[in-house]
């Protein structure tokens, strides 16, 4: 370790992280090839072979030729995920509202049967509505 200066350590780390970034870019392009519905099977096979045989050139050519579409596909996928999230949130809210309504109905029945005093009913109702 005495003959490995600090600058060499820094440069080794820079090259390491550049290699990691390169692999991330390569895998992102390969994933985009397989996620693209507009490409047929032969086109996907061709791009895959090109990316495996000549990865550096393949990634740059792919980004030049299909880079704009890659961004659009990512944006549409994010919009679709956001729609699914909001739909699930609406379903959870509807289920929670239905649960509150059922619980309020049950509390009203308990009050009508005399099992809860009006003060207990109001306290329980406030707890249900606060959730």
**pLDDT tens profile 71-105:** 898 899 899 999 999 988 888 877 766 677 788 88
Residues 103 and 122: their CA atoms lie apart, in Å, by 13
Given a contact cutoff of 8 angstroms between Cβ atoms, the answer to whether 74 and 56 are in contact is no
Residues 13 and 49: their CA atoms lie apart, in Å, by 30
**pTM for the full predicted model:** 0.58
Residue 107: which residues within 8 A CB-CB, separation 6 or more?
116, 121, 124, 125, 128
């Amino acid at each position: 370790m005495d003959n490995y200066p600090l600058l060499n350590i820094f440069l080794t780390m820079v090259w390491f992280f550049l290699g990691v970034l390169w692999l991330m870019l390569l895998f992102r392009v390969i994933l985009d090839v397989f996620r693209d519905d507009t490409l047929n099977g032969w086109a996907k096979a061709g791009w895959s072979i090109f990316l495996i045989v000549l990865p550096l050139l393949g990634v740059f050519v792919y980004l030049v030729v299909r880079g704009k579409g890659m961004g659009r596909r990512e944006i549409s996928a994010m919009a679709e995920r956001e729609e699914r999230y909001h739909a699930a949130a609406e379903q959870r809210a509807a289920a929670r509202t239905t649960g509150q309504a059922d619980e309020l109905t049950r509390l009203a029945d308990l009050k009508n049967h005399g099992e809860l005093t009006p003060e207990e009913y109001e306290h329980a109702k406030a707890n249900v509505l606060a959730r």
